[in-house]
Structure 1
Amino acid sequence: MLTTGLIAIDATILATAVPSVVADLGEFDQFPWLFSVYLLAQTVSVPIYSKLADTFGRKPIVLIGVGLFLVGSILCAFAWSMTALIVFRVIQGLGAGAAAPMTMTIVGDLYTVAERAKVQGYIASVWAISSVVGPALGGVFAQFASWHWIFIVNIPLCLIAGWALVRFYHERVERRRHRIDYPGAALLTIGLTALMLGLLEGGNAWAWGSLQSIGCFAVGALALAGFVMVERRAAEPVLDLAIFRRRLIASTTLVSLGVGALLTGVTSFVPSYLETSIGVVPLLSGLAVAALTLGWPLSASLSGRLFLRIGFRSTAVIGSTIALVGAVALVVVTPFPSPWLVAGVAFVMGFGLGWVAAPTLIAAQASVEWNERGVVTGTNAFARSAGSALGVAAFGSIANNVIAANGGEPTPDSIIPASAAVFIATAVIAVLMLAAAAWMPRDRVQSPAAAAQPAPDAA
């Protein structure tokens, strides 16, 4: 929870201080890269860290993540230009790419199936608290101190988290010689970097049909094609593509893609919809979105009782249905902008997603042994990040086209139809996520006694 808190707070604390950063460092046109490069570095590094964790153990990888995050935070705190700050955010992102999925993997190692839902609820509660604390801290630092404190505050948190991991987390790893798949790692990194860069910056830094955009997607496609060829022959592949032949892994990965896209659709567009349509202050629009992160940990902590009785698949289908109801309700209330209506709908969506995200992750983890659990967990985390990136690109394109057709300026007359169009797209994503959950194989419901047995490979 300490390690997760580092990543969760950083995900929200910077946004409220962007005006202060720009006022000090200048180069307003470059500030979106503060978020893009962080997400890019975090996302593309997850599969590699996950494989290394299955090879050398979780502890060294999560400590590397905390260490990189600490170094990146120190450098960001003393950045002298926007370019330097962007570069140092890459280091932070590489740290987050190791730390975030490893916490979920460690939960899968240490706790029984019956216990994991409750513990995943604890982890989700960290995100919920951070969604409120992060923006508040960022605003306080920006208004009463300096934006540098946004990164300085990470230093003691990193030290405490690192100390706790060294002191209290112990694991046994079978020591043997490994053959590192360097060509596969390089091709995967190049391919994912190019594709993610194209998705994140297409329509923003450059036009979708520009040479830069076409080049990103072409390089990404070629590198990933080469990656597939290399992995078929590698002795110890970075990502064993055979795992996607398993219906459970393939279906839960698709569900995670949907979860990431839905989160982006709500958290990215609800604030601008409320602020532009009826002039809601940013704090109130942020609290409306925070209702989603309050419903999530509540249902995630309760999901264990449900999936032990009816199974992972049925629980995920119920959660997807609830999330779909919330997505449709968001479309219905869009012509009548109200922060209270939106908050209620967001809470319903969050409650549904909690019954989707936790059971599908636990189902995937429970289906493999220790030596594959890191890759499976990392794949789940990567899919959610990739879903967010796809959502940013797709929903942003939809909104821009609708706004352009209604005068070209974000006014109440244009933002409401644009938001309605985006929310219709999120409802479509919710339908596809429900289909993916229904595609999960039927699982035999474990008895409480069997589910409470520790995994044989737990340290």
Structure 2
Amino acid sequence: MNRNRYVFWGLVINTLISALDSNIMQTASPTIVKQLGGMEYFAWIFVVYMLASTVTVPLYGKLSDMYGRKNLLILSVGLFTLGSILAGCANSMVMLIVYRGVQGLGAGGMLPLSMIIVGDLFSIEKRGRIQAVFSSIWALSSIVGPILGSFFVETLTWRWIFFINIPIGIATVLCLMPYQEKMEFKKTHIDYKGFFLFGISITLLLLSTNVKNPLWYLVIGLIGLIVFLLVERKEAEPFLPVALFKNKGILTTNLFMLFYCLSFFGTSNFIPLFLQQGNHMSIYKSGLILLSIAIGWMFGSTPAGKWIIRFGYKNLFIIGSFITAISGLALFLFIKDLSYSGLFCILMVQGFSFGLLFAVGTIASQEFAESHIKGVSTSLQMFLRNIGTSIGVTIMGLLINHAASIVIGMKNVFLYALCFSIITVLLSFLIPAKTTEVSNS
């Protein structure tokens, strides 16, 4: 039990690194560009990290089913820390972008492997509470991160936004050292050909959302995915196991989470912008509105494990998707006339459904899967969430940029999200109620 406590704190610290990195970078990046030059490369500081950390998620899941979670997590933290050291020493934008890529290669395994270890170590009832803790860290980091970034930039140097990861990374590894995995891992053939085709295709598709002329990226990426599917059909041990797609629970849950992240999950990125431009609100107050989602998230995810045992997966997916759709409808209808407190309350309700469904979705991806594919099943869902969120946010950004005003833009965003949330409501009825393990407990 004491070992589990150390491991738990290691996972908490690991989550803290990821959360702080995202929020600190947003604050410090203008200063970095000013000192290093290369404003034309500004977006690539974030794009290369996003690409590396997204594409490698399924690979980490596959490898964790073969070689164990502990060593891979230590490796990913080590890669992230090495990338942080190199990024902190960068003397040009090109060097910084390359080293951010190294960081991303490590980050691709940090959160998925943490969730997989939680699934290995803790019961269903406890996993909801643990995910609530992780969500709280992200919420706290959204406030502390920008403040810490400003402190480093103004008092020390921007390089410390990377160097701060060194002691945190070391602490993570030390906490993970006592962890002894009890599961038996089967070493099998790794379909690197499939991973290469998959990785290149997804990279091109993601790049199509971040370049000015996306058509060729989109076309070649889609062709690559078709080739990947044709090649994988003939592969004895494919990169993404066939069992993932034959398992109704995994298939329907993953489809649900993909469409869910395409809908309202990305809208929170634009609400502070709407409050600043539409209501002339201060940056601090407009950012504080996102605490509503964090508070609701904790209330939704904390009891999720107990509710799964009591009500089953299907009922919770149905309830959560209905709450999201109804609160989203309220945002679409009343966003122009909502007071700050009214918006805070609606977002808190929506945050509740986010927390509930993300917790239930993660647990379902583990419990519906057989033990030898639990890692790749968990990481595949996290990968699809990232893809859904990236595409959704890109579409929302286009809707806002092409609108006559920020208010019209936000209404268009909510209408788009509402359409996809209706799809998630329909998909929720296809998800099985229970796994064998739950039904026999």
Fold shared per TM-score above 0.5: yes
Distance 1:71 1:229 in 2: 37
Determine the structure 1 residue equivalent to 2:232.
231
Q: Which residue, 27, 33, 38 being the options, matches 2:49? A: 38
Q: Is the 8 A contact 2:265 2:354 kept in 1?
A: no
Give the match's secondary structure for 1:14: helix
Determine the structure 1 residue equivalent to 2:301.
300
1:418 aligns with 2:418: no
1:313 aligns with 2:323: no
Pairwise mapping of residues 323-402 of structure 1 onto structure 2 (< 5 A)?
323-336=324-337, 338-402=339-403
Aligned-residue offset at 1:337: 5.9
- Unpaired runs of 5+ in structure 2? 1-11
Distance 1:294 1:76 in 2: 34
Q: Which residue, 406, 423, 427 being the options, matches 1:436? A: 427
Distance 2:187 2:295 in 1: 45
Determine the structure 2 residue equivalent to 1:456.
none
Q: Is the 8 A contact 1:65 1:99 kept in 2?
A: yes
Pairwise mapping of residues 14-413 of structure 1 onto structure 2 (< 5 A)?
14-166=25-177, 168-172=178-182, 174=184, 178-199=188-209, 201=210, 205-206=211-212, 210=213, 213-262=214-263, 265-336=266-337, 338-402=339-403, 406=404
Distance 2:88 2:342 in 1: 39
Aligned-residue offset at 1:435: 2.0
Q: Which residue, 18, 24, 47 being the options, matches 1:7? A: 18
Determine the structure 2 residue equivalent to 1:411.
none
Q: Provide the alpha-carbon RMSD of the alignment.
A: 2.1
Aligned-residue offset at 1:162: 1.1
Determine the structure 1 residue equivalent to 2:6.
none
Distance 1:45 1:370 in 2: 21
Instruction: Give 2:203's aligned amino acid.
Output: T
Distance 1:44 1:300 in 2: 27
Name whichever of 263-272 and 75-84 sits farther off. 263-272
Query: Which runs of at least 4 in structure 1 moved beyond 4 Å after TM superposition?
Result: 444-448
Q: Is the 8 A contact 1:333 1:341 kept in 2?
A: no
Q: Is the 8 A contact 2:84 2:165 kept in 1?
A: yes
Distance 2:132 2:59 in 1: 26
Q: Is the 8 A contact 2:51 2:203 kept in 1?
A: yes
Give TM-score scaled by structure 2 length. 0.92
Instruction: Give 2:143's aligned amino acid.
Output: V
Distance 1:48 1:279 in 2: 45
Distance 1:342 1:145 in 2: 38
* Structure 2 CA distance for partners of 1:10 and 1:19, relative to 1, 3 Å: same
Distance 1:334 1:27 in 2: 39
Name whichever of 122-131 and 376-385 sits farther off. 122-131
* Structure 2 CA distance for partners of 1:136 and 1:434, relative to 1, 3 Å: farther
- Unpaired runs of 5+ in structure 1? 407-413, 452-459
Instruction: Give 2:273's aligned amino acid.
Output: S
Q: Is the 8 A contact 1:318 1:355 kept in 2?
A: no
Q: Is the 8 A contact 2:66 2:186 kept in 1?
A: no
Instruction: Give 2:223's aligned amino acid.
Output: L
* Structure 2 CA distance for partners of 1:136 and 1:372, relative to 1, 3 Å: same
Q: Is the 8 A contact 1:320 1:353 kept in 2?
A: no
* Structure 2 CA distance for partners of 1:421 and 1:177, relative to 1, 3 Å: closer
Aligned-residue offset at 1:421: 0.8
Give the match's secondary structure for 2:432: coil
How many matched pairs?
Answer: 430
Determine the structure 1 residue equivalent to 2:4.
none
Distance 2:263 2:36 in 1: 34
* Structure 2 CA distance for partners of 1:152 and 1:341, relative to 1, 3 Å: farther
After superposition, give the CA deviation of every residue in 1:108-127 in whole Å (9 maximum; x if it has no partner).
Answer: 11112222222222222222
Give the match's secondary structure for 2:329: helix
Aligned-residue offset at 1:354: 1.1
Give the match's secondary structure for 1:170: coil
